[in-house]
Amino acid sequence: MSTRRSISGATRKSSATTPSAVDAVTAWDTTTGSTGIVIADLDTGVRFEHPDLQWAGAGGRLLPGYTFISDTFVANDGDAQDADASDPGDWVTQADLSRAECSGGTAGNSSWHGTRTAGLLGALSNNGTGIAGMTWSAWLLPVRVLGKCGGLDSDIVAGMLWAAGIHVNGVPDNPYPARIENMSLGGTGACPQQYIDVISQLTAKGVLVVASAGNEGGLVDTPANCPGVAGVAGIRHAGTKVGYSSLGPEVALSAPAGNCVNTAPGSACLYPVTSATNQGATTPGAYGYTDQVNNPNLGTSFSAPIVSGIAGLMLAANGNLNSAQLISRLKEGSVAFPQTSATTTTMCHVPASSSDLQTVECICTLDGQTCGAGMASASGALNAALRPTAAVKVPPSVGPGTNVTLDGSGSSAACKRTIASYQWASSDQAHPVTNSNGPSTTVTAPATGTFTVTLTITDDAGKKDVATVIISSSAATTSAPATAGTNACLTAIAVPSPVTISISPTAGSLQAGSGTTQSFSATVGYTLNTQVTWQVNTVRIGRRFDSVCVGNSHDHRAARQQRHQRWP
* Nearest one of 146, 129, 150, 147 to 54, comparing CA atoms: 129
- In our burial notation (b when 16+ CB lie closer than 10 A, e otherwise), range 346-377 reads eebeebeeeeeebeebbbbbeebbbbbbbbbb
367 and 407 share a domain?
no
Give the pairing of strands 251-256 and 532-538: unpaired
347 and 429 share a domain?
no
Q: Is residue 393 part of a domain?
A: no
Q: What is the pLDDT of residue 16?
A: 62
Domain around 409: 403-478
> DSSP states of 367-386 as a string?
SSSSS-SSB--HHHHHHHHT
Residue where one domain finishes, among candidates 333, 358, 386 = 386
256 and 343 share a domain?
yes
Residue where one domain finishes, among candidates 386, 411, 429 = 386
pLDDT, the chain, mean: 89
Residue where one domain finishes, among candidates 334, 355, 386 = 386
Q: Is residue 75 part of a domain?
A: yes
95 and 230 share a domain?
yes
356 and 418 share a domain?
no
Q: Is residue 564 part of a domain?
A: no
342 and 445 share a domain?
no
47 vs 130: CA distance, rounded Å: 15
440 and 530 share a domain?
no
Q: What is the pLDDT of residue 57?
A: 84
186 and 217 share a domain?
yes
Q: Is residue 183 part of a domain?
A: yes
Residues 410-456: tens digit of each pLDDT: 999 999 999 999 999 999 999 999 999 999 999 999 999 999 999 99
117 and 266 share a domain?
yes
What CATH code is carried by the domain that includes residue 213?
Answer: 3.40.50.200
Q: Is residue 228 part of a domain?
A: yes
157 and 91 share a domain?
yes
Instruction: Yes or no: say if 116 and 302 are a contact pair by the CB < 8 Å rule.
Output: yes
186 vs 566: CA distance, rounded Å: 8
The total number of structural domains in the chain stands at: 3
Q: What is the mean pLDDT, run by run of 10 residues, along the chain of 568 residues?
A: 41 68 95 98 97 92 97 95 97 97 94 98 91 96 97 97 98 97 96 98 98 98 98 97 98 96 85 96 97 93 98 98 98 98 96 97 98 98 98 98 98 98 98 97 98 98 98 98 98 81 74 74 57 51 33 26 42
162 vs 184: CA distance, rounded Å: 17
Q: Cβ neighbours of residue 138 under 8 Å, at least 6 residues apart?
A: 33, 34, 35, 37, 38, 39, 61, 121, 122, 309, 312, 316
* Nearest one of 409, 451, 395 to 428, comparing CA atoms: 451
Q: Is residue 557 part of a domain?
A: no
Q: Cβ neighbours of residue 6 under 8 Å, at least 6 residues apart?
A: 150, 185, 186, 187, 214, 215, 221, 564, 565, 566, 567
Q: What is the pLDDT of residue 271?
A: 94
Amino acid at 132: A
382 and 410 share a domain?
no
Q: What is the pLDDT of residue 568?
A: 45
- Is the pTM value of this prediction over 0.85? yes
424 and 511 share a domain?
no
70 vs 81: CA distance, rounded Å: 6
Q: Is residue 486 part of a domain?
A: no
Give the pairing of strands 563-564 and 151-152: antiparallel
229 vs 251: CA distance, rounded Å: 9
What CATH code is carried by the domain that includes residue 416?
Answer: 2.60.40.10
Q: Is residue 280 part of a domain?
A: yes
Q: What is the pLDDT of residue 14?
A: 54
Largest Cα span, the chain: 106
Question: Which residues have a catalytic role annotated?
Answer: 43, 113, 301
Residues 260-304: tens digit of each pLDDT: 988 788 889 999 999 999 999 999 999 999 999 889 999 999 999
